[in-house]
Amino acid sequence: MMNSPHETFLRENHAFFTDLRHKIHQNPELGFEEEQTSQMVANLLQEWGYEVHRGLAKTGVVGSLKVGNSNKTIGLRADMDALPIVETTGKAWQSQIKGKFHGCGHDGHTVSLLAAAQALAHSKNFNGTVRVIFQPAEELLYGGKVMLQDGLFEQFPCDVIFGLHNMPTLPAGEFYFREGAFMASCDTLHIHVHGKGGHGAMPEHTIDATLIACQIAVALQTIVSRNVGALQQGVITVGAIQSGDAPNVINDYALMKLSVRSLSPEVRELLLKRIGEVAEFQAKSFGATAKVEHINGCPAVMNGAAATQFATEVAQNLVGADKVHTNCPPLMGSEDFAFMLEANPNGCYCFIGNGDGNMVHHPNYDFNDEIIVPAAAYWCALVEDYLR
Site string for Zn ion, 47-86 (x = CB under 5 A): ----------------------------------------
Least CB distance to Zn ion at residue 229 (A): 29
Which of 65, 104, 130, 340: binder of Zn ion (CB under 5 A)?
104
Q: What angle do CA 223, 224, 228 make, to 5 degrees?
A: 95
- Among the listed ranges 97-105, 189-197, 200-208, 289-297, the one in contact with Zn ion (CB under 5 A) is 97-105
**In sequence order, what DSSP letters do the residues of 308-322 get, joined into one string?**
HHHHHHHHHHHH-GG
The amino acid occupying position 345 is P
Closest separation in Å from C-beta 116 to Zn ion:
18
For the bound state, the minimum distance from the C-beta of residue 360 to Zn ion, rounded and expressed in Å, comes to: 5
Minimum gap (Å) between residue 241 Cβ and Zn ion: 25
Q: What is the number of the residue whose Cβ is closest to Zn ion?
A: 104
**Other Cβ atoms closer than 10 A to 17:** 21
104 versus 324: smaller Cβ distance to Zn ion: 104
Of the ranges 26-34, 96-104, 122-130, 176-184, which one interacts with Zn ion (CB under 5 A)? 96-104
Instruction: Give the contact letters, 111-130, x = binds to Zn ion (CB under 5 A), - = no.
Output: --------------------
| Count of positions on this chain that bind Zn ion (CB under 5 A) | 1
Q: How far is the CB of 361 from Zn ion (least distance, A)?
A: 6
Categorise residue 92: left if φ over 0, alpha if ψ from -120 to 50, beta otherwise: alpha
Cα-Cα end-to-end distance for the chain:
23
Q: Which is nearer to Zn ion, 137 or 228 (CB)?
A: 137
Give strand ranges (E) for 11-107. 51-56, 60-67, 73-79
Which one of the spans 15-23, 102-110, 199-207, 308-316 is the region binding Zn ion (CB under 5 A)?
Answer: 102-110
Neighbouring C-beta atoms of residue 285, cutoff 10 Å: 11
Residue by residue, what is the 3-state secondary structure of 323-364? HEECCCCCECCCCCHHHHHHHCCCEEEEEEEEECCCCCCCCC
Q: How far is the CB of 109 from Zn ion (least distance, A)?
A: 8
| Alpha carbons 371 and 369: distance in angstroms, whole number | 5
DSSP label at 95? -
Residues that bind Zn ion (CB under 5 A): 104
